[in-house]
Amino acid sequence: MPELPEVETIVSGLNKKVKNRKIVDVWTDWPKYFKLPKNEKDFKKIIIGKKITKVERRGKNILIHLSDNNLLLIHQKISGHLLVGRWKLKKGKWESEITGPLLTDRNNQYLRLVFFLDDGFMLALSDLRRFAKILAGFREVILNLPDLKNLGPEPLAKDFTFKKFEELFKNKKGYIKPVLMDQSFISGIGNIYADEILWFSKIHPLSRAENLKQKDLKTLYKAIRFILKKAIRLKGASVDDYRDVEGKRGSYDKVRYVYQRENESCYRCGGKIKRLKIAGRSAHFCPKCQKLI
C-alpha cells in the first residue's frame, strides 16, 4: 500500500500536471468504488464541470480540491496509483498513447477510473485489486468524515515538534511497530517505513512503547523524519504496484535498509535480517543490532 512518501510523490506530481484543469467527463468500469455519493450518477454530478484548484495529502489520503467548494478524496489502498496521460479505449482495454512506462509497465494498465480533463489529458486510477476508496462531496462534509478526523498528526509537519511527539507516548502501550503504524497515533507510516525507521533507530520491533526512554524517543523522532524525507526525495518505494503519476518506479526500494531483506546481511553490523509476525503483519529487523527495550 502506498505510504506517506508515495502519496506525497503522487500529490506533488498532480499539482504540477492537473492543477487548474477542469474535469469534463468521468468513466469507470467499477461503480462499486462509489460509497459517497453512493452511485455513479450522483458522483458525476459533483465532479463533472469542476476545476481542480489544488491537491493535498492527509495521511495516506489524496485530497483533490475542486471549484464550488467540492472535494474529491482518493485513498489508493493496496494496488492503486494515480496516473496522468492520454489513453484510447481499444476493444474494451485502455491503451496509452504515450510511450514509456504508461504503455509498457503492466502495473499501469489496470485503469478502473478515468477523469477526462479539458486539455485532452486524463487523470486515471490504475488499481489491479479494485480496493481503492473514492469519496466526493462538499469540502466540509469530507473533511469531517472519520477517514480524516481520526487521523493522528503529520510526522513531517513543521509544528510536529519532539515535545509533541514525546507527549503522544505518555499513556501509550503496545509493541512499537504496530504503534507506529496506527494511523490514529501518527498518520502516514505503514509496513515499509515502520521497518526502516526502527532499523535506523536500532530499536527492535517487539520493544514496548511504554518502555522507551526520552533518549530512545529522540532517536525515533529523528529517524522518522530522516527516513520519510529520504523516501520522498527518491519518489517512494516500488516494491509492488506503486508508480508515480508518469508511471515511473520510485527508487527507495533500491536503497532500503531492512524491509523484505530477510536472510540478507545487515548493512550496519553484518547480522542476518530476520522476519517475524506482529499483530498479523510482517516485521523485518536485525536481531544483532536492534535492541529489545
User: Which residues are tagged catalytic?
Assistant: 2-3, 60, 281
> For residues 245 and 134, what is the distance between their CA atoms, to the nearest angstrom?
18
Distance of CA 123 to the CA centre of its chain: 17
Cβ neighbours, 10 Å, residue 232: 19
Residue 75 in grid coordinates: 485513498
What residues have CB less than 8 Å from 206, skipping those under 6 apart? Answer: 175, 176, 177, 276, 278, 283, 292
Per residue, what are the HEC states of 170-217?
A: CCCCCEHHHHHHCCCCCCCCCHHHHHHHHHHHCECCCCEHHHCCHHHH
Residue 57 in grid coordinates: 495529502
